[in-house]
Amino acid sequence: KTETVDVVVVGAGAAGMLCAAEAGRRGRSVLVVDHARAPGEKIRISGGGRCNFTNTGTTVANMLGENPRFAASALGRFTVADFVGRVDRAGIAWHEKTLGQLFCDDSAKQIVRMLTDAMRAAGVTLRLGTGVAAVAREGDGFALTLSDGTAVRCASLVVATGGKSIPKMGATGWGYDLARQFDLRVTETRPALVPLTFEAGLLEQTTPLAGVAVDAVVTAGKTRFEEAMLFTHRGLSGPAILQISSYWREGEAITVSMAPGVRVLERLKAAKAENGGKQAVHTALGHIVPRRLAEVLTAREGANGKLAEVGDKVLARLDAAVNGWTVKPVGSEGYRTAEVTLGGVATDQLDQSTMAAKSVPSLYFIGEVVDITGWLGGYNFQWAWSSGWVAGQAA
């Protein structure tokens, strides 16, 4: 038996659910399929369980891709205020944490519920535990075979399968493969918003610091982020590193300042001039950076004694170690822990006002599967909402 619907959305994630609810509200019959057991699993685990659902400062300047300006149309049509309005109407309490990042006060599950409620109110059918086995063009629409063998005909097909990150949660490359099946160009994909790793020799130096966090400025090429940074057993993590990972490429060094704006050498010289320089070097440095970091750096520079016992050259080396640390990561932790995937369906293949493929007008791509990737801080969900909304008006 063949089912016939107006719209099939593949992927009940952030973009797919918002899109489906919009299309349903316009009176379209909508079927959403997802091979996962529950909808919106990435929303549920996002933002440490509180979902950083948008960023008040979202612009194309916070987006990466071949052409980040492509995102301007959707971001301008379904704005941050539009999404916050929905959150408010759903009675979900939220707060701004930092840097324009909006989080739920209670739980990310509230956002998932808001979206599933919107789909239900719009008469959308959600079929979980179901993938798509085959897609064929049929007239201006599509003939689908679902993984359970069901045949479905639809006028519009929306691909909202997200990126490749966290395969354990059901991420697949299906959306990219489908794009290629219809001769749409897909840009190179790579893990982003991901911890960076060090080779064994470097790890020997930094492993004693695992767990130490500092406010840092991290620079790769011309790009610079000032946020928290964390030493791990494998290298570096924390918001500043996740941000820079989207820009860093293999073989490049990053520069780290672990006491941004602090004149470390001057501070150490001043401490040396006090009380005859009796203070231990690591104690003086420990007033500038975390104690464990101060201990490791002073030991490395052989400055284990009192300030009076070390020359200014050594103090200058400590200054450089704190505020001019240049280090070459070997790689990243990969899709296993990456929050997002850079790259995807090339934006020049899509119509920015509908998200439809230019060469296949009833085939839509929304959310992370598209070559638009946001910074850390709520930008990726805003892209999912905005791109989902515009497709929901057109599909």
- Closest CB to ligand FAD among 100 and 131? 131
Among residues 7, 15, 154, 363, the one that binds ligand FAD under rule CB under 6 A: 15
Closer to ligand FAD by Cβ: residue 65 or 162: 162
Question: In angstroms, what is the minimal distance from the CB of 182 to ligand FAD?
Answer: 16
Q: Which is nearer to ligand FAD, 53 or 247 (CB)?
A: 53
Max Cα separation, the chain?
A: 91
Nearer to ligand FAD, 5 or 268 (CB): 5
DSSP string across 51-120: -EEEETT--GGGEESS-GGGGHHHHHHS-HHHHHHHHHHTT--EEE-STTEEEESS-THHHHHHHHHHHH
CB 395 within 8 A of CB 379: no
Radius of gyration of the chain (CA): 25
By Cβ distance, which residue is nearest to ligand FAD?
13
Residues 122-151 that bind ligand FAD (CB under 6 A): 131-132
Q: Which of 21, 22, 30, 42 binds ligand FAD (CB under 6 A)?
A: 42
- Strands 2-10, 196-197: pairing is unpaired
Binding status of residue 174 toward ligand FAD by CB under 6 A: yes
Query: x/- binding map, residues 282-321, to ligand FAD, per CB under 6 A?
Result: ----------------------------------------
Position 380 contacts ligand FAD (CB under 6 A) = yes
Residue closer to ligand FAD by CB (options 160, 264) is 160
# residues near ligand FAD by CB under 6 A: 38
How far apart CA 66 and CA 77 sit, in angstroms, is: 21
Q: How far apart are CA 238 and CA 196, in angstroms?
A: 10
Please choose, out of 159-167, 260-268, 305-313, 355-363, the segment that lies near ligand FAD by the rule CB under 6 A.
159-167
Report the phi/psi class of residue 332: left, alpha or beta, with left for phi > 0 and alpha for psi in -120 to 50: beta
Q: Which residue, 142 or 282, has its beta carbon nearer to ligand FAD?
A: 142
Dist CA 140 CA 304 (whole Å):
75
The one-character DSSP state at 375 is: P
Q: Is 195 in the site for ligand FAD (CB under 6 A)?
A: no
Rule CB under 6 A: say whether 371 interacts with ligand FAD: no
Question: d(Cα 50, Cα 271) in Å, to the nearest integer?
Answer: 44
Measured distance CA(190)–CA(188) in Å, rounded: 7
Query: Which residue of 35, 86, 190, 282 would you call a contact of ligand FAD, by CB under 6 A?
Result: 35
DSSP string, 322-365: HH-EEE---EE-GGGT-SEEE--B-GGGB-TTT-BBSSSTTEEE
Q: Which of 384, 391, 394, 395 binds ligand FAD (CB under 6 A)?
A: 384
- For tokens 């610091």, the residue is 209
Angle, CA of 72, 78 and 81, to the nearest 5°: 110
**Contact between 161 and ligand FAD per CB under 6 A:** yes
- Told to check if 46 binds ligand FAD by CB under 6 A, we report yes
Task: Tell me: does residue 60 bind ligand FAD (CB under 6 A).
Answer: no
Helix (H), strand (E) at residue 153: strand 151-159
Nearer to ligand FAD, 160 or 355 (CB): 160
Q: How far is the CB of 387 from ligand FAD (least distance, A)?
A: 8
Any contact of residue 395 with ligand FAD (CB under 6 A)?
no
Residues in 61-120 at the binding interface with ligand FAD, rule: CB under 6 A: none
Encoding tokens for residue 116? 């599933």
CB of 269 to ligand FAD, least distance (A): 43
Between residues 95 and 263, which has the closer beta carbon with respect to ligand FAD?
Answer: 95
Q: Residue 391 has which token pair?
A: 């497709």
Could you give the dihedral angle defined by the CA atoms of residues 72, 73, 78 and 79, in that order, rounded to the nearest 10 degrees?
A: 30
Binding residues (CB under 6 A) for ligand FAD: these are 10-16, 33-36, 41-42, 45-47, 51-52, 131-132, 160-162, 165-166, 170-172, 174, 339-340, 367-368, 378-381, 384
